[in-house]
Amino acid sequence: MPEPNPILICARRVAANRLTLEEGPRTPSAPTVSITTLSTPAESDYTLSNPLPEPAEAAAVDETATPSTESAPKPGSYDAALALGEDLIERPLAGGGPARVRTQHAKNRMTVWERIKVLTDQEPMILYRNWGPELDGASIVTGILNIDGRDVAVYGHDFTVRAGSMDATNGAKLARLIHMAGEKGIPLIGMNDSAGAFVPAGVGGLDGYSEAFTALRKISGLVPSISLMFGYNAGGGAYLPRQGSFMIQCEETFIGLTGPGVVKSVLGEDVTADELGGPGVHGASGVADLIAPDELGSLRTALRLLNYLPDNNKSPAPRLDTSDPVDRYTAEEDRLFRRTFDSPAGMNAPMDIGLYLQQICDHGEFFEIQPQRARNMVTAFGRLGGWVTGFVANNSAVASGQIDIDAALKATRFIRFCNLYNIPLIFVEDTTGFLPGTEQESRGIIQAGRKLLDSIIDVRTPRMTMIIRNAFGGAYAAYNSHYTGADLVFAMPMARVAVMGAAGKDFVYKDEMRAIAANHKKALADGASEADANRLRDEALAKLTTQYEDLLMNPKEALSLGSVSRIVMPGESRRILARNLDFLMRKYTPGPMGGPQREHE
C-alpha cells in the first residue's frame, strides 16, 4: 500500500470539520456526521462537536425522557439525627436571638457568652445544654473552664432567655454543676443576672432555688466560690450568690430581697434601686466583698482574686516564685515609722496600715477584701516569699484602730475562710482595744468580739502576730496572742503592750493622783489663780503619765514573760516574717478541717 499523502489527510480533516459545523444543533437522536469514506485505517476521526448536551437540549431531554424509577435519595434517619444534634448544640449559643442581644448591649451589659470569653481564651466545656418546650433550663449556662491551667466550674444566667429566670430544670442543672465542683475539688464562679423565679413555673421555680441553695451550702468549706453580680437580682437571686465565699458587685446593679416598687407599696417608702440595693449599700454592709466599676472590671477582679485561692480545702493556695528578695532591708518602712512617731502627735499619731503592708508583701502588692467596710480593720490577701498569706491588720488611721462590731465581723469571716482553705495568717496589731459605748453595747459588741476571739482560737494554719504599737487589754489577749495559739509573736521596739493605755496610771498611781488633786485644791484655797493651779496640776499629771508609759507601756515585760518571741527593728519586718513563714509552711500539711464542730459560728 502506498504511503498516505500528508496534504490529502489535512484536506480531509478540514472538510470533515466544515461539514460538522454546518450541521448546526442536533437532537440527541441525530446521527453524528463523519467522513469515513475518505479515512484510512491508520487515520483518526476528529470532531469539534460538544459531546455533552446544551442546556436547551437537556430541557428537551427532560421533556421527552421516560420517568426514571430511581428518584433523588431522601435524608435518612441518620442525617435527620445529625441535623437535630447541630440544632441542639447551636441553639443555646444563639440565646434569645439578635433582638434580645441588642437589648442587652443597649443596657451596657454583656451576654453570658461574652462574659465567659473574658474569663478564658480557651474553648469552654459546656455541660447540660437543656432547652425544653418552655425554655426549661435554657436560661442558665453551666460548664468547665480552663483558666490559666486550672479547671474552674462556671455558671451564668442568660438574661436574653426569659430574663435568666429560674425553674425546676434550671435548679437541677445548676445543682448538678455545683455538686460536681465539690466532688472534683475545683473552684466555682457564678455569673448572676436573673430576674428570680419563673412565675409561670409555679412552685417549680421555688424548688429550683431550694435545690441550688442546698447544693451550694453542701460544698461550702470544700471548694471556694466567687459570685459575680450583674443586672437586677432579687429574691432567690440575691440569697444564692451570697452563700458563696466572695461576692463581687459592679455599678449600675441591684441586689435585694425585693425591689423599690414593693417597698413603696408595702411601706410607703420612696427609694431608688441604688439606694436600696446598690453597690454603695452592700459594700458598706459587707454583703458585697468587692466593688467594681463595670462588668469587665468585675470579671477581671474575679480572675485576680482566683489567683490567691486554692482549688479546694485539701490543697494549698498557688505559690509563685518571686523575684523580690525576701531578705531585703526596707528603708521605706523605717521612714514611715519615723515620720509618723516623730510628728507632733508622737506615739498617738494615726498611720495608714496599708503603707506598712506594701513594705512587707512581694513587690508591694496585696489584695484587700471588703475595702468599703469598717476601714479600721484591713483584711487582705498578699504573697510573702511566694506564699499566699492572709493579713488581718488594725488601721489606726480610722477610729484609732479600735475594734467595733463591723470590724470584728469583717475580720471573723476572713479568718474563718483562711482557716478552712489552708492559708496562713499574719496579724498586724495596733489597737487600743474594743470600742466602748452604749451604741456598741446595744448592738452586741460582746457577741461580735466573741466571734472574733473564737475564730482566732480555732485557727489551725500557721499564724504570726506583729505588734506595731498599741496592744492593750482584751484586744491584746484576743488578737492572736501567744496563748490563743499564735506560732510566733513579734514586736517593734515602739510597741506598747499593757493592760490599759495612759488611763492606767489612775489605777497604778492612786496615791499620787490623790496628792495631785489635793495640791490643786490647796493652791486655789491659798489664793493662786486658777490658771496657775491648773498648770501645776497638768504638769504633775504629765510627769506621772510619762513615768507610767516608760515603766509599763513598752515590750519589755511581754518579752520577759515569753509573750513576745523577739523584737523586730523597723526595716526588717519582711525578712523576719518571710523566713519564719517559709519555715512554718514547709512543716504544714494542708488538709480539710477535722475535730468537733463548735456551737457558735
Q: Which H helix or E strand runs over 154? A: strand 150-157
Architecture of domain 331-500+554-586: Alpha-Beta Complex (3.90)
Q: Is 268 a catalytic residue?
A: no
Report the C-alpha gap between 497 and 270 in whole angstroms: 51
pLDDT score, position 31: 44
Other C-beta atoms lying within 10 Å of the C-beta of residue 588: 15
Residue type at 127 in one-letter notation: L
Report the C-alpha gap between 314 and 318 in whole angstroms: 12
pLDDT exceeds cutoff 60 at 568:
yes
pLDDT exceeds cutoff 60 at 16:
no
Report the C-alpha gap between 80 and 201 in whole angstroms: 32
Of 144-148, 190-194, 468-472, 594-598, the poorest mean pLDDT is in 594-598
pLDDT exceeds cutoff 60 at 497:
yes
Residues 127, 156 contacting (CB under 8 angstroms): no
Task: Specify burial of residue 310 (Cβ count, 10 A radius: 0-12, 13-18, 19+).
Answer: buried
pLDDT exceeds cutoff 90 at 39:
no
The tens digit of pLDDT for each residue in 471-491 reads: 998 889 999 999 999 999 999
pLDDT score, position 62: 53
pLDDT score, position 590: 94
Q: Is 474 a catalytic residue?
A: yes
Band of the pLDDT at 544, cuts 50, 70, 90? confident
Q: Which three-class secondary structure state does DSSP give residue 135? A: coil
pLDDT score, position 582: 97
Residues 577, 361 contacting (CB under 8 angstroms): no
Q: Phi and psi for 188 in degrees, rounded to 5?
A: -125, 135
Any residues with CB less than 8 A from the CB of 453 and at least 6 apart, and which?
478, 484
Band of the pLDDT at 8, cuts 50, 70, 90? very low
Residue 165, all three cell numbers:
429566670
Q: Phi and psi for 228 in degrees, rounded to 5?
A: -105, 130
Catalytic residue among 475, 486, 495, 523: 475
Which residue, chain included where needed, has cell 489612775? 506
Q: Phi and psi for 416 in degrees, rounded to 5?
A: -65, -40
Q: Nearest-CA neighbor of 130 among 78, 172, 183, 190?
A: 172
Residue 536, all three cell numbers:
501645776
Beta-strand ranges (E) seen in 325-365 are none
DSSP 544: H
Any residues with CB less than 8 A from the CB of 159 and at least 6 apart, and which?
104, 109, 111, 112, 139, 193, 194, 195, 231
Average pLDDT, the chain: 87
Q: Which H helix or E strand runs over 118? A: helix 112-119
Of all residues in the chain, the percent with pLDDT exceeding 70 is 87
pLDDT exceeds cutoff 60 at 61:
no
Q: How far is CA 310 from CA 141, 183, 188, 423, 524, in A?
A: 24, 15, 11, 9, 70
Other C-beta atoms lying within 10 Å of the C-beta of residue 256: 21
Q: Phi and psi for 493 in degrees, rounded to 5?
A: -65, -20
Report the C-alpha gap between 565 and 75 in whole angstroms: 82
Domain borders along the chain are 6-53, 98-306, 331-500+554-586, 506-546
Band of the pLDDT at 197, cuts 50, 70, 90? confident
Q: What is the 3-state secondary structure (H, E, C) of 215-245?
A: HHHHCCCCCCEEEEECCEEECHHHHHHHCCC
Q: Which H helix or E strand runs over 488? A: strand 488-491
pLDDT score, position 67: 55
Report the C-alpha gap between 153 and 181 in whole angstroms: 6
CA–centroid distance for 447 within its chain? 29
Report the C-alpha gap between 206 and 212 in whole angstroms: 10
pLDDT score, position 363: 96
Residue 445, all three cell numbers:
459588741
Report the C-alpha gap between 583 and 394 in whole angstroms: 25
Q: Which three-class secondary structure state does DSSP give residue 110? A: coil
334/13: higher pLDDT: 334
Task: Specify burial of residue 305 (Cβ count, 10 A radius: 0-12, 13-18, 19+).
Answer: buried
DSSP 259: -
pLDDT score, position 237: 85
pLDDT exceeds cutoff 80 at 136:
no
The tens digit of pLDDT for each residue in 220-246 reads: 999 999 999 998 888 888 889 999 999
Q: Is 390 a catalytic residue?
A: no
pLDDT exceeds cutoff 50 at 579:
yes
pLDDT score, position 153: 98
What pairs with residue 155 in β-bridges? 142, 190
Which residue, chain included where needed, has cell 495608714? 352
pLDDT score, position 179: 96
pLDDT score, position 598: 74
Residue 138, all three cell numbers:
435554657
Which residue, chain included where needed, has cell 478564658? 120
In this chain, the answer to whether the domains covering 98-306 and 331-500+554-586 adopt an identical fold is yes
Catalytic residue among 132, 474, 485, 562: 474
pLDDT score, position 43: 47
Q: Is 475 a catalytic residue?
A: yes
Tell me the fold of 98-306: 2-enoyl-CoA Hydratase; Chain A, domain 1 (3.90.226)
The tens digit of pLDDT for each residue in 500-512 reads: 877 788 888 888 8
The tens digit of pLDDT for each residue in 271-290 reads: 999 999 999 999 999 999 99
Residue type at 215 in one-letter notation: A
Report the C-alpha gap between 292 and 40 in whole angstroms: 95
pLDDT exceeds cutoff 80 at 135:
no
Q: Which three-class secondary structure state does DSSP give residue 424? A: coil
